[in-house]
């Protein structure tokens, strides 16, 4: 804790960089995965192929991606976009699997009712399926958020900023306090953003809160 107090301003700046590198890929992943997941859900063979490709992409070691990406897109190995692109691949791989699973959780009776009143596929997906799929999707989104916050630290091995810098510097200087400080801040960020996503999901699904209150009254 002494290291955190003595170097608070520096750690705040490093934390800002860490969050930028963790959350921007998450945003890109959401933009790609939500429409893609909604489309592949309706095409069984495409869904199987996508799940296989996404699973394979997620198993590629991050350091291997940091080596492969720069020559492919024409950037330096120490460019922050190297980490952003790699984490976007991982985020998209997880989310594109999560979206169809979340949509599958919508009760069949609700889907049939929407079809019966004349909802087209696009309207039903946007106004019925996706809102009701939020609770399941949020549980997967929380995993992706925490994973990104943890994986950014690996970027320090190629010289890209973030809290991983505290790990590499602490190791090189044989200074455990710096390493412990990095662990504490990373864990704190993961816990805070996990909770924020959970609360966002609760806010977006007010009917789940109402159901919970009704159930408690019934139990009483």
Q: 């952003």: which residue's tokens?
A: 84
The per-residue pLDDT for range 153-188, each reduced to its tens digit, is 888 888 887 888 888 888 888 878 888 888 899 999
Q: Which residue has the higher pLDDT, 219 or 109?
A: 109
The per-residue pLDDT for range 127-145, each reduced to its tens digit, is 888 888 999 999 999 999 9
Looking at domain 1-207, its CATH superfamily turns out to be MetI-like (1.10.3720.10)
User: What one-character DSSP code corresponds to residue 105?
Assistant: T
Domain ranges, ordered by start, for the chain: 1-207
Which whole number is the average pLDDT over 209-220? 55
The per-residue pLDDT for range 1-57, each reduced to its tens digit, is 677 777 788 888 999 999 999 999 999 999 999 999 999 988 999 999 999 999 998
> Does the pLDDT at position 121 exceed 70?
yes
Spatial contact of 82 and 70, defined as CB atoms under 8 Å apart: yes
Nearest 5°: the CA angle 137, 142, 147 is 125
Confidence band (pLDDT; 50, 70, 90) for 118? confident
Structure confidence at residue 5 (pLDDT): 76
Structure confidence at residue 210 (pLDDT): 55
Q: Among 6-10, 88-92, 196-200, whose mean pLDDT is lowest? A: 6-10
Q: How far apart are CA 158 and CA 66, in angstroms?
A: 8
Confidence band (pLDDT; 50, 70, 90) for 212? low
Spatial contact of 52 and 97, defined as CB atoms under 8 Å apart: no
> Does the pLDDT at position 217 exceed 60?
no
> Does the pLDDT at position 215 exceed 90?
no
Structure confidence at residue 209 (pLDDT): 62
- Please state, in angstroms and as integers, the Cα–Cα distance from residue 7 to each residue in 13, 50, 171, 188, following that order: 10, 45, 17, 17
> Does the pLDDT at position 195 exceed 60?
yes
The pTM for the full model equals 0.87
């Amino acid at each position: 804790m002494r290291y955190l107090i003595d170097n608070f301003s520096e750690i705040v700046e490093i934390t800002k960089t860490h969050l930028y590198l963790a959350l921007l890929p998450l945003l890109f992943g959401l933009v790609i995965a939500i429409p893609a997941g909604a489309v592949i859900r309706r095409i069984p063979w495409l869904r199987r192929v996508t799940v296989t490709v996404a699973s394979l992409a997620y198993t590629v070691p991050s350091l291997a991606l940091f080596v492969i990406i720069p020559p492919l897109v024409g950037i330096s190995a120490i460019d922050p976009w190297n980490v952003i692109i790699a984490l976007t691949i991982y985020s998209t791989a997880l989310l594109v699997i999560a979206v169809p699973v979340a949509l599958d959780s919508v009760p069949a009776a609700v889907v049939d009712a929407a079809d019966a009143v004349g909802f087209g596929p696009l309207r039903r997906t946007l106004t019925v399926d996706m809102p009701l799929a939020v609770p399941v999707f949020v549980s997967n989104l929380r995993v992706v958020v925490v994973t990104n916050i943890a994986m950014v630290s690996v970027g320090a091995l190629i010289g890209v900023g973030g809290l991983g810098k505290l790990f590499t510097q602490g190791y090189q200087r044989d200074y455990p306090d710096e390493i412990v400080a990095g662990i504490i801040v990373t864990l704190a960020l993961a816990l805070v953003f996990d909770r924020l996503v959970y609360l966002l999901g609760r806010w977006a699904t007010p009917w789940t809160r109402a159901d919970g209150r009704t159930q408690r009254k019934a139990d009483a």
